[in-house]
Amino acid sequence: MIWDIYGVPDNRLYSNWDLLSNLERFTMWSLKGIRKGKIGEIKININQTNLPENITESYSDIFSKTGIKFNLLVSFAWFLALTNRLHIDLENQVWQRFPNLCSYCGQKPCNCTQWKEGKIKKVILSNQRPKTLSEFQIMFKEIYPPQNRTLEHAGVHLAEELGELSEALHLFQGTHKKKYFNQLEKEIADYFSCLMGVANSVDFDFAQSFYQLFPEKCHVCNQKVCVCNFF
């Protein structure tokens, strides 16, 4: 869907660094919402979200948690643009990294507090691979229960993985070596897992909200193939 909407303008207007920059920008705005707190109490005015003028007031009813949800959703769109550009199969990479188990301790739910480095359990792929974005969110909720950590902790983890993703992209683009591309694929999966972690901590249906914002058309120009200028 994102490729259908943004594939042409992304290829014409945005370099890999532009895509990464926008991913970083909207992720950090989401984290700013976490820092400001008052997650459940604030009903933000649409003018406070830095949205383009042609976004209707009704969006304030959907994205009302200090901008966390809106910015998380938009950051995911830029994230998909980057994975599409690099021809990375996101679904496959996530499953290879998180086969319904924690990628480090190999358990569900995660038991990393009891895991000793150097004694990694063998992760066995199961037949429980999720088929939809909603199912992946549920899978990560079961692996990393949100009640076991604070929203702030989930946000810090997302920021950490964003930095590692950026570093991996710089290494690959600077060297063009396959080993760094392989590392980039892992960081792509890790970022996605942490994005789902924040969504689960905020407690909203990520897939449903994503489709509300991107109903098979650009959320800014409302066209099925985006005609927006460089953003």
Give residue 3's pLDDT: 86
Tell me what the mean pLDDT of segment 109-118 comes to. 80
Give residue 77's pLDDT: 95
Q: Quick: pLDDT tens for 180-206.
A: 999 999 999 999 999 999 999 999 999
Print the domain residue range for 130.
2-213
How many structural domains are present in the chain? Answer: 1
| Within-domain flag for 160 | yes
Judged against a pLDDT cut of 90, whether residue 122 lies above it is answered with no
Residue 8 neighbours by CB distance under 10 Å: 13
228 pLDDT band, cuts 50/70/90, is confident
| Within-domain flag for 94 | yes
- Asked if residue 210 lies in contact with residue 112, where contact means CB atoms within 8 angstroms, the answer is no
| Within-domain flag for 56 | yes
Mean pLDDT, all residues of the chain: 85
Q: Quick: pLDDT tens for 11-43.
A: 999 999 999 999 999 999 889 888 876 443 333
- The model's pTM: 0.85
Give residue 208's pLDDT: 93
User: Please, which contacts does 1-5 make with residues 24 or more away whose CB atoms are closer than 8 Å?
Assistant: 1/214, 1/216, 2/77, 2/80, 2/81, 2/84, 2/214, 3/80, 3/84, 4/216, 4/224, 4/225, 5/214, 5/216, 5/217, 5/218, 5/224, 5/225, 5/226
| Within-domain flag for 35 | yes
| Within-domain flag for 221 | no
Q: Quick: pLDDT tens for 136-183.
A: 999 999 999 999 999 999 999 999 999 999 999 999 999 999 999 999
| Within-domain flag for 45 | yes
